[in-house]
Every structure is written in structure tokens, then in C-alpha cells.
Amino acid sequence: RESLQDELLDLQRQLHKTILFVTHDVDEALRLADQIVIMQRGQIVQYAPPLEILSRPANGFVNQLVGGDDMVRQLSLVRVEKVMQPLPPDFRNNGQPTIESQHTLRTALSRLLRSDVEELVVVENGTRTGLLSLQDIQAHDQLATNGQREVNGRGALHEKNATNGGSP
């Protein structure tokens, strides 16, 4: 199934076309979608990018459906390049493990823990471009958690509006 998903993503990149994909598999939706529509009893309760749905679910139904409290799932949607720190000019490679900039924070966290190092060297096309530490991942996690508290009120309002036919 994963290879079919990869094929679909490659096809979309090649054709530059919008694809409407209906699924009840949350992990599949999170992996494939640029935007997700979540419905409850025939009404739209949230429409947002996958990371926003995970980090700021509109209501308890969405949170339970997508496992919004699962931080590891959230880490699987964020690329290393979005969180890494620039490589300092005086950087010396002391044999630290590397990670590609396109890998996810979930992969990076696993590699950090497995390697028992302070930071990973981020590479893109064989060139060192930055550093990623556990603190960088934790800082990203805190931002996502704080954002969730801020937006939940708006999400509840959005749910109410959606049930009233979408009018504000």
C-alpha cells in the first residue's frame, strides 16, 4: 500500500494536477494530503493542512479521530529542513551522523536517540547545510503545543459555524 501511495505522490508531482482522494485511513490522509477535510455527520468540521489538523484539532471529535495528542505522529509530518539550524561558519565535522534535509523529524529523533549524539549534521545533495539537535525538535514541539491552545477556541467556533451551514 505504501508503494502505491508513493506512486500517487510521484504522479501528482509530475502532472501538477489536483487529486481528490477519499479515505477513512487517517494515516493515509496525513501522508498524502496537502489539505484534509474532516466531516462529522455530513458537515465539515475542519479543513486544513495535515500538520495543522494534528497540532490544532478543531474539536474533540477531530482530536480523537486523528490522534492529535500523538506527538510522534506530528513529527512524521515535519521535514528536517524546516527546523534545522544553519551550519555555523566555524563548523568542524567530528564524525557526527548525518540526516537528509527531506527526512522527517520523526526519523531525526530516532537517529538522535539511536546514535546517542547531541546533534545531527543535515545534508542536502551531499552538501552539509545545517545542524539539528534534540533541543530544536523540542522547541518545534512546544510551538505546536502552544498553537493548539490558541486555536482551539476558533476551532470550536468553526465547528459551530459548519453545523449552521457554514455561515459565520
Query: pLDDT tens for residues 17-60?
Result: 888 889 888 888 988 888 999 999 999 999 999 988 988 899 99
Whether 6 is covered by a domain: the verdict is no
In the predicted model, what is the mean pLDDT of the chain? 82
- Does the structure show a pLDDT above 50 at 155? no
Whether 19 is covered by a domain: the verdict is no
Whether 62 is covered by a domain: the verdict is no
Say what percent of the chain tops pLDDT 70. Answer: 83
Between 6 and 103, name the one with better pLDDT: 103
Whether 167 is covered by a domain: the verdict is yes
Q: What is the total count of domains within the chain?
A: 1
Whether 44 is covered by a domain: the verdict is no
C-alpha to C-alpha distances, 150 to 1, 18, 35, nearest whole angstrom: 36, 31, 21
Domain that holds residue 93: 69-168
The tens digit of pLDDT for each residue in 82-129 reads: 999 999 988 888 888 999 998 999 999 999 999 988 899 999 988 999
